[in-house]
Amino acid sequence: MTKLRVGVAGTGNIFKHAHLPGWLSLREELELVAFCDAHRPSAEATAKDFPNAKVYENYHDMLADESIDIIGISTPNLFHSEIAIAALQAGKHVFCEKPDAINPIEAQKMADVAKASGKLLMTMRNNRFSEEARYAKKIIGEGAMGELYMGRCGWVRRRGIPGRGGWFTTKELSGGGPLIDLGVHMIDMAMWLAGNPKPVTVSGSTYRKFADRPLADGSIPSGTFNVEDLAAGFIRFDNGASLQIEFSWASNVEKEQKFIEWRGTEGGFGIVNDKLSIFTEDAGVLIDQKPQFSPSQTAQHTANIQHFVACVQGKETPIITPEHGVDMIKILCSIYESAERGHEILL
């Protein structure tokens, strides 16, 4: 079997810690042949472990290599759609770090170009691949929860601002703060578990309260911080269901917590800090279940990349589509718009 050839755009931390292990888990099926980063020393340092790989500063030069089959994107958010669209037009399959884009127009362009090119476009949605999420999806599909009608999801940190003063906290590069950073994970999983209903309206509020606070050593933070540090909101779907959301990088809560919860007519469930609880009733008796899962042998990011490659090879059908990304970016950007305007937004 001829190995798939992979080129990488962006060789920073998210590539090293999340994407690279996934690609390396498929050594028998693919090879990493090119690394591109605007900061060339980063690409060169990565390429040292791959003697035959080429190094680029400009992704257009990498895309000109007709032998490359797949482009992996792990750059700052602003560049996701730009590189993805160019790669698809160059005849490459694309696997992109989340979020898909920083506005709905770019997300829709990605979906349209992917369809026209006939190539696969998939964006990282690693939380779908946890054992807890997969089991919850299974029992929902079997009807054990009945109709899911009310949900909650969030990821709140007490103190956890990433890369303060860098691209994470610069709106022009990131598109936003914890809503677009953390929200994409939990909102996606909530919608996927509920069968991907279409969002119809959103409302939200955002806050920026920790950007200028002195650091632990008493020094004043430097660098750009023009995004929110907390966002909350409410999403209505076309099937009548609704979802409450809350995401923060810093807030005065007891401890960090990520959670998803759905209430159904026949049962409900919650996944809190990766622990699943199921709530049902039988003959008037309330039943709580806490399934125990063996530790997964495959990290979620790796499982997501393995699924993508299997789809490229025609072995599996994508469970993550460009249309999911379009809906996600519409939701996130409309929540920002709602927060700015002070009223609900019709999608």
Provide the pLDDT for residue 33: 98
277-304 b/e (C-beta count within 10 Å ≥ 16 → b)? ebbbeeeeeeeeeeeeeeeeeebbbbbb
Average pLDDT over residues 145-163: 97
- Does some domain include residue 204? yes
Q: Does residue 284 fall inside a structural domain?
A: yes
Residues 290 and 158 in one domain: yes
Percent of the chain topping pLDDT 70: 100
CATH (domain of 234): 3.30.360.10
pLDDT at 218: 87
User: Are 103 and 250 in a shared domain?
Assistant: no
CATH of the domain at 26: 3.40.50.720
Rounded average pLDDT over 15-19: 98
Task: Please check whether residue 307 lies inside any domain of the structure.
Answer: no
Task: Identify whether 311 is part of a domain.
Answer: no
Residue 327 confidence (pLDDT) above 80:
yes
Q: What is the mean pLDDT of residues 54-64?
A: 98
Cα–Cα distance for residue pair 269/6, rounded to 1 Å = 39
Tell me if 184 sits within 8 A of 328, measured CB to CB: yes
Averaged pLDDT of the chain: 97
Regarding whether 16 and 63 lie in a shared domain, the answer is: yes
Residues 49 and 175 in one domain: no
- Final residue before a domain boundary, out of 68, 101, 123: 123
Q: Same domain for 32 and 105?
A: yes
Same domain, 132 and 112: no
Residues of the domain holding 16: 4-123
Shared domain check, 192 and 224: yes
Looking at 106, 123, 140, which one is the last position of a domain? 123
Contacts for 319-324: CB closer than 8 Å, 24+ residues apart:
319/128, 319/192, 320/122, 320/123, 320/125, 320/128, 321/122, 322/100, 322/107, 322/110, 322/111, 322/114, 322/115, 322/121, 322/123, 323/111, 324/125, 324/188, 324/191, 324/192, 324/196
pLDDT of residue 296: 87
Residue at a domain's end among 123, 142, 159:
123
- Would you say residue 11 lies in a domain? yes
Do residues 151 and 287 share a domain? yes
pLDDT digits (tens, 9 = 90+) for 202-253: 999 999 999 999 888 888 899 999 999 999 999 999 999 999 999 999 999 9
pLDDT of the residue at 81? 98
314, part of any domain = no
95 and 28 housed in the same domain: yes
Shared domain check, 183 and 90: no
pLDDT for res 46: 97
Percent of the chain at pLDDT exceeding 90:
96
Asked whether residue 67 is assigned to any structural domain, the reply reads yes
User: Are 131 and 107 in a shared domain?
Assistant: no
Average pLDDT on 252-261 reads: 97
Query: Do 91 and 175 lie in a common domain?
Result: no
Residue 250, pLDDT score: 97
What is the structure's pLDDT at 215? 84
The predicted pLDDT at position 232 comes to 98
pLDDT above 80 (res 55): yes
Nearest Cα to Cα of residue 328 among 221, 168, 188, 139: 188
297 or 16, higher pLDDT: 16
Whether pLDDT at 1 is above 80: no
Say if 318 falls within a structural domain.
no
Domain count, the chain: 2
Distance CA 114, CA 87 (A): 10
